[in-house]
Amino acid sequence: MSILERVKAAMPALPPAEQRVAKLLLNDARAFANLPVSELADRAHVSKPTVVRFCRSVGYDGLADFKRKLAGSVNEGVPFVHRAVDEDDKPGDLIVKVVDNAVAALLHYRNDAASHAFERAINALAESARNNRRIEFFGVGNSGIVAQDAQHKFFRLGINTAACSDGHVQLMSATMLQSGDCAVVISNSGRSRDLLDAAEIARKKGATTIIITASGSPLAALGQSQGQILLAVDHPEDYDRYSPMVSRLLHLTAVDILTTGVALRLGQTLRPMLQEIKRNLRSKRYAS
């Protein structure tokens, strides 16, 4: 969903005062993004705290976070419209459709990603890394490829990590997790039985479970339980026509955000090791 679609869907469940704020937004989203909170409150005939509560009710950190992402969504000029490829598409059509889908989805995700959830996830991963605890990445199929990419990125930071794409190995690995460890579970559909079982075992063993999946899925429900973290990634894809493409890009982007955040948390301790890795890798290149 876009920001405005999310607000429309949430309106019936909002208190009357917050519904007035929602109507103000839907009537003129561009003005809402630029007006100060006092003006918004006056126009909606509510208090300033009510405007802030409305933003949190629809899934954002507060008014500043909501307005920043709203401004991006109304100013980008790139519509979030899924354009499925057709059998008779020419290469030029494919280029436009695939790239447009990717760009639009990434912009949409940038505007909708929950920064507070990423902050919790980054803090948990950085804490595990500092204490030399285990970080496991679980995924199957296309998501297994993302799990391997995540393991490679965290491995380069000198962190104790592993990636599992086999259901039996995932169950064994999850069983060996303890409090202080992290399990990062990646799934586009959020309905894989193997991943659901592994995530539930990891949670019961006391590990922090970070779940990257579609909101509203069974796996997402596990990520919303006490002490667990959900990083929702939503994108419509036609599974009957081609394999998931954009969702994998979004998952890789989420992994990049986590990796960058953890690297920044670990700070100066990483720099000497990363420099040494680069020096050693130069010996594997052909001379110019």
The class that CATH gives domain 3-73 is mainly alpha
Q: How many CB atoms lie within 10 A of CB 24?
A: 21
For residues 6 and 66, the model is more confident at 66
Dump pLDDT digits (tens) for 181-224: 999 999 998 999 999 999 999 999 999 999 999 888 899 988 88
CATH class, domain 115-274, is alpha beta
User: 49-106: per-residue pLDDT in tens?
Assistant: 999 999 988 888 889 888 888 876 655 444 444 456 677 878 887 787 778 778 878 8
Burial of 252 (0-12, 13-18, 19+ CB in 10 A): middle
pLDDT tens digits, 222-245: 888 887 999 999 876 655 445 567
Beta strand extents in the chain (DSSP E only) = 135-138, 161-164, 182-186, 208-213, 229-232
Residue 174 pLDDT more than 90?
A: yes
**Domain assignments of the chain as residue spans, ordered by start:** 3-73, 76-112, 115-274
Contact 216, 69 (CB under 8 A): no
Query: How many DSSP H helices and E strands does the chain contain?
Result: 14, 5
Please state whether beta strands 208-213 and 161-164 pair in parallel, antiparallel, or not at all (unpaired): unpaired
Amino acid at 84: A
Q: How far apart are the first and last CA of the chain?
A: 50
Tokens of 173: 């690995």
Rg of the chain on CA atoms, in Å: 21
- Answer yes or no: are the C-beta atoms of 252 and 149 closer than 8 Å: yes
User: Strands of 229-232's sheet, edge to edge?
Assistant: 161-164, 135-138, 182-186, 208-213, 229-232
pTM for the full predicted model: 0.70
The DSSP code for 269 is G
